[in-house]
Structure 1
Amino acid sequence: MHIFWWQILSDDEILSRIESIIDERDEIENLLAQPKVSTDPEKVPELAKRMHWLDDICLVAEELKEYLSDLKELEGIVVHEGVEDLKNEFYPLYEEYKEIYKEKAARLYQLLMGKGIWMKSMRMKQI
Protein backbone atom coordinates (compact mmCIF):
# COMPACT_ATOMS: atom_id res chain seq x y z
CA MET A 1 0.00 0.00 0.00
CA HIS A 2 1.39 3.38 -0.97
CA ILE A 3 1.20 6.08 1.66
CA PHE A 4 1.29 9.03 -0.74
CA TRP A 5 -0.20 7.71 -3.99
CA TRP A 6 -0.46 11.12 -5.69
CA GLN A 7 3.07 12.37 -5.04
CA ILE A 8 6.04 13.50 -7.06
CA LEU A 9 8.54 11.82 -4.73
CA SER A 10 8.50 8.16 -3.68
CA ASP A 11 7.09 7.11 -0.30
CA ASP A 12 10.62 6.31 0.87
CA GLU A 13 11.89 9.78 -0.05
CA ILE A 14 8.98 11.45 1.69
CA LEU A 15 9.32 9.27 4.79
CA SER A 16 13.05 9.99 4.88
CA ARG A 17 12.38 13.73 4.81
CA ILE A 18 9.76 13.35 7.53
CA GLU A 19 12.28 11.52 9.71
CA SER A 20 14.78 14.33 9.07
CA ILE A 21 12.17 16.85 10.18
CA ILE A 22 11.44 14.90 13.36
CA ASP A 23 15.18 14.60 14.04
CA GLU A 24 15.66 18.33 13.53
CA ARG A 25 12.77 19.16 15.85
CA ASP A 26 14.24 16.85 18.52
CA GLU A 27 17.67 18.43 18.02
CA ILE A 28 16.22 21.92 18.53
CA GLU A 29 14.36 20.75 21.62
CA ASN A 30 17.65 19.44 23.02
CA LEU A 31 19.41 22.69 22.18
CA LEU A 32 16.74 24.72 23.93
CA ALA A 33 17.25 22.59 27.05
CA GLN A 34 20.92 23.57 27.21
CA PRO A 35 21.57 26.53 29.57
CA LYS A 36 24.06 28.13 27.18
CA VAL A 37 21.45 28.23 24.40
CA SER A 38 18.31 28.79 26.47
CA THR A 39 19.75 31.98 27.96
CA ASP A 40 20.87 33.45 24.64
CA PRO A 41 18.30 36.11 23.65
CA GLU A 42 19.33 35.90 19.99
CA LYS A 43 19.14 32.12 19.58
CA VAL A 44 15.98 31.35 21.57
CA PRO A 45 13.50 33.20 19.30
CA GLU A 46 15.07 31.74 16.16
CA LEU A 47 15.04 28.21 17.56
CA ALA A 48 11.53 28.53 18.99
CA LYS A 49 10.19 29.78 15.66
CA ARG A 50 11.85 26.93 13.78
CA MET A 51 10.59 24.37 16.30
CA HIS A 52 7.03 25.68 15.97
CA TRP A 53 7.32 25.48 12.18
CA LEU A 54 8.48 21.85 12.41
CA ASP A 55 5.90 20.87 15.05
CA ASP A 56 3.05 21.29 12.56
CA ILE A 57 4.51 18.53 10.42
CA CYS A 58 5.67 16.34 13.31
CA LEU A 59 2.24 16.24 14.92
CA VAL A 60 0.54 14.99 11.76
CA ALA A 61 3.44 12.61 11.00
CA GLU A 62 3.20 11.02 14.45
CA GLU A 63 -0.57 10.61 14.09
CA LEU A 64 -0.03 9.03 10.67
CA LYS A 65 2.46 6.54 12.13
CA GLU A 66 -0.04 5.52 14.82
CA TYR A 67 -2.78 4.97 12.25
CA LEU A 68 -0.40 3.03 10.02
CA SER A 69 0.46 0.70 12.88
CA ASP A 70 -3.22 0.13 13.69
CA LEU A 71 -4.08 -0.25 10.02
CA LYS A 72 -1.42 -2.92 9.52
CA GLU A 73 -2.74 -4.82 12.53
CA LEU A 74 -6.32 -4.63 11.24
CA GLU A 75 -5.15 -5.62 7.77
CA GLY A 76 -3.56 -8.72 9.28
CA ILE A 77 -6.89 -9.66 10.81
CA VAL A 78 -9.07 -8.82 7.81
CA VAL A 79 -6.83 -10.15 5.06
CA HIS A 80 -4.83 -12.96 6.62
CA GLU A 81 -6.77 -14.43 9.54
CA GLY A 82 -8.69 -17.61 8.79
CA VAL A 83 -11.69 -16.87 11.01
CA GLU A 84 -14.53 -15.42 8.92
CA ASP A 85 -16.31 -13.94 11.96
CA LEU A 86 -13.22 -11.86 12.77
CA LYS A 87 -12.98 -10.65 9.19
CA ASN A 88 -16.63 -9.60 9.16
CA GLU A 89 -16.37 -7.95 12.57
CA PHE A 90 -13.21 -5.94 11.85
CA TYR A 91 -13.72 -5.09 8.18
CA PRO A 92 -15.80 -1.91 8.82
CA LEU A 93 -13.16 -0.68 11.30
CA TYR A 94 -10.43 -1.49 8.77
CA GLU A 95 -12.21 0.55 6.08
CA GLU A 96 -12.73 3.44 8.52
CA TYR A 97 -9.02 3.45 9.43
CA LYS A 98 -8.05 3.36 5.75
CA GLU A 99 -10.07 6.52 5.14
CA ILE A 100 -8.65 8.29 8.19
CA TYR A 101 -5.16 7.21 7.15
CA LYS A 102 -5.66 8.61 3.63
CA GLU A 103 -6.86 11.91 5.10
CA LYS A 104 -3.84 12.13 7.43
CA ALA A 105 -1.47 11.28 4.56
CA ALA A 106 -3.06 13.96 2.39
CA ARG A 107 -2.81 16.51 5.22
CA LEU A 108 0.85 15.65 5.80
CA TYR A 109 1.63 15.88 2.11
CA GLN A 110 -0.10 19.29 1.97
CA LEU A 111 2.01 20.50 4.89
CA LEU A 112 5.20 19.24 3.26
CA MET A 113 4.36 20.90 -0.04
CA GLY A 114 3.24 24.10 1.65
CA LYS A 115 6.50 24.37 3.52
CA GLY A 116 8.55 23.50 0.43
CA ILE A 117 9.93 20.30 1.91
CA TRP A 118 8.83 18.12 -0.97
CA MET A 119 11.46 19.83 -3.11
CA LYS A 120 14.46 19.93 -0.81
CA SER A 121 15.54 19.35 2.73
CA MET A 122 15.46 22.52 4.80
CA ARG A 123 17.91 21.76 7.59
CA MET A 124 18.66 24.69 9.85
CA LYS A 125 22.15 26.08 9.81
CA GLN A 126 24.45 24.78 12.55
CA ILE A 127 24.23 26.70 15.79
Structure 2
Amino acid sequence: MEALASGEAAEETESSAGLLRHPKYAEMMALNIGDGAQVYTAFLVFLDLLEARNWKDVTCKGSKELQLVYLLGCPGERKEVKVVLPLPVHMSLSHERDTTIVGRITNGNKEAYERKVDQLVDGVTPTRAHY
Protein backbone atom coordinates (compact mmCIF):
# COMPACT_ATOMS: atom_id res chain seq x y z
CA MET A 1 0.00 0.00 0.00
CA GLU A 2 2.85 2.37 0.81
CA ALA A 3 4.44 1.78 -2.62
CA LEU A 4 1.13 2.63 -4.28
CA ALA A 5 0.88 5.92 -2.36
CA SER A 6 4.49 6.71 -3.24
CA GLY A 7 3.79 6.03 -6.93
CA GLU A 8 0.70 8.23 -6.85
CA ALA A 9 2.69 11.05 -5.26
CA ALA A 10 5.40 10.75 -7.93
CA GLU A 11 2.77 10.81 -10.68
CA GLU A 12 1.15 13.90 -9.17
CA THR A 13 4.55 15.64 -8.93
CA GLU A 14 5.29 14.85 -12.60
CA SER A 15 1.87 16.18 -13.59
CA SER A 16 2.41 19.41 -11.64
CA ALA A 17 5.86 19.83 -13.15
CA GLY A 18 4.33 19.43 -16.61
CA LEU A 19 1.85 22.22 -15.89
CA LEU A 20 4.69 24.50 -14.84
CA ARG A 21 6.31 24.02 -18.26
CA HIS A 22 3.13 25.06 -20.11
CA PRO A 23 3.76 28.05 -22.44
CA LYS A 24 0.81 30.04 -21.05
CA TYR A 25 2.11 29.60 -17.49
CA ALA A 26 5.53 30.81 -18.65
CA GLU A 27 3.81 33.82 -20.28
CA MET A 28 1.99 34.64 -17.04
CA MET A 29 5.16 34.29 -14.98
CA ALA A 30 7.01 36.54 -17.44
CA LEU A 31 4.62 39.35 -16.50
CA ASN A 32 6.53 39.52 -13.16
CA ILE A 33 3.35 40.43 -11.33
CA GLY A 34 1.98 39.31 -7.98
CA ASP A 35 2.92 36.29 -5.99
CA GLY A 36 3.44 32.85 -7.48
CA ALA A 37 0.25 31.48 -5.89
CA GLN A 38 -1.93 34.08 -7.61
CA VAL A 39 -0.25 33.47 -10.96
CA TYR A 40 -0.63 29.68 -10.59
CA THR A 41 -4.29 30.14 -9.64
CA ALA A 42 -4.80 32.33 -12.72
CA PHE A 43 -3.19 29.62 -14.86
CA LEU A 44 -5.46 26.88 -13.47
CA VAL A 45 -8.54 29.06 -14.04
CA PHE A 46 -7.28 29.80 -17.57
CA LEU A 47 -7.16 26.06 -18.30
CA ASP A 48 -10.61 25.54 -16.75
CA LEU A 49 -12.19 28.30 -18.83
CA LEU A 50 -10.72 26.95 -22.07
CA GLU A 51 -11.02 23.22 -21.56
CA ALA A 52 -13.95 22.66 -19.21
CA ARG A 53 -16.15 25.68 -19.86
CA ASN A 54 -15.39 26.19 -23.58
CA TRP A 55 -14.67 29.91 -23.35
CA LYS A 56 -13.29 31.60 -26.48
CA ASP A 57 -10.42 34.05 -26.90
CA VAL A 58 -9.16 33.75 -23.32
CA THR A 59 -6.15 35.97 -22.70
CA CYS A 60 -4.20 36.98 -19.64
CA LYS A 61 -3.42 40.52 -18.59
CA GLY A 62 -1.43 41.85 -15.71
CA SER A 63 -1.65 44.93 -13.57
CA LYS A 64 1.66 45.99 -12.04
CA GLU A 65 -0.19 48.57 -9.96
CA LEU A 66 -2.52 45.95 -8.44
CA GLN A 67 0.08 43.15 -8.55
CA LEU A 68 -2.54 40.79 -10.04
CA VAL A 69 -2.95 38.67 -13.16
CA TYR A 70 -6.49 38.59 -14.57
CA LEU A 71 -8.18 36.93 -17.53
CA LEU A 72 -10.40 38.16 -20.35
CA GLY A 73 -12.59 35.91 -22.49
CA CYS A 74 -15.95 35.15 -24.02
CA PRO A 75 -18.16 32.48 -22.42
CA GLY A 76 -19.34 29.94 -24.98
CA GLU A 77 -20.64 31.53 -28.16
CA ARG A 78 -21.25 34.97 -26.62
CA LYS A 79 -19.42 38.01 -27.97
CA GLU A 80 -19.37 39.92 -24.66
CA VAL A 81 -15.95 39.86 -23.03
CA LYS A 82 -15.92 38.91 -19.35
CA VAL A 83 -13.19 39.67 -16.84
CA VAL A 84 -12.14 36.94 -14.41
CA LEU A 85 -9.88 37.70 -11.45
CA PRO A 86 -8.57 34.42 -10.05
CA LEU A 87 -7.45 34.67 -6.43
CA PRO A 88 -5.91 31.99 -4.24
CA VAL A 89 -7.74 31.13 -1.05
CA HIS A 90 -5.18 32.82 1.22
CA MET A 91 -5.61 36.23 -0.43
CA SER A 92 -8.07 38.40 1.47
CA LEU A 93 -9.99 41.32 0.02
CA SER A 94 -11.83 44.25 1.49
CA HIS A 95 -14.63 46.28 -0.05
CA GLU A 96 -12.14 49.09 -0.72
CA ARG A 97 -9.69 46.71 -2.42
CA ASP A 98 -12.54 45.14 -4.46
CA THR A 99 -13.68 48.49 -5.81
CA THR A 100 -10.09 49.58 -6.52
CA ILE A 101 -9.45 46.38 -8.48
CA VAL A 102 -12.69 46.65 -10.45
CA GLY A 103 -12.05 50.33 -11.21
CA ARG A 104 -8.54 49.64 -12.52
CA ILE A 105 -9.49 46.58 -14.55
CA THR A 106 -12.42 48.36 -16.22
CA ASN A 107 -10.19 51.40 -16.92
CA GLY A 108 -12.60 53.73 -15.16
CA ASN A 109 -15.52 52.85 -17.47
CA LYS A 110 -18.37 53.98 -15.17
CA GLU A 111 -21.01 51.61 -16.57
CA ALA A 112 -18.70 48.57 -16.49
CA TYR A 113 -17.49 49.60 -13.04
CA GLU A 114 -21.02 49.83 -11.61
CA ARG A 115 -22.02 46.50 -13.19
CA LYS A 116 -18.95 44.73 -11.75
CA VAL A 117 -19.36 46.26 -8.30
CA ASP A 118 -23.03 45.21 -8.29
CA GLN A 119 -21.91 41.65 -9.03
CA LEU A 120 -19.38 41.73 -6.18
CA VAL A 121 -21.48 43.52 -3.58
CA ASP A 122 -25.24 43.59 -3.95
CA GLY A 123 -25.81 45.75 -0.86
CA VAL A 124 -28.63 43.50 0.37
CA THR A 125 -28.45 42.11 3.87
CA PRO A 126 -28.83 38.33 3.60
CA THR A 127 -32.08 36.96 4.96
CA ARG A 128 -33.47 33.45 5.14
CA ALA A 129 -35.18 34.11 1.77
CA HIS A 130 -31.74 34.46 0.09
CA TYR A 131 -30.69 30.92 0.98
TM-score (norm 1): 0.23
If asked which structure has higher relative contact order (CA below 8 Å, sep 6+), I would say 1
Which has the greater radius of gyration? 1
- Higher strand proportion, which one? 2
TM-score (norm 2): 0.22
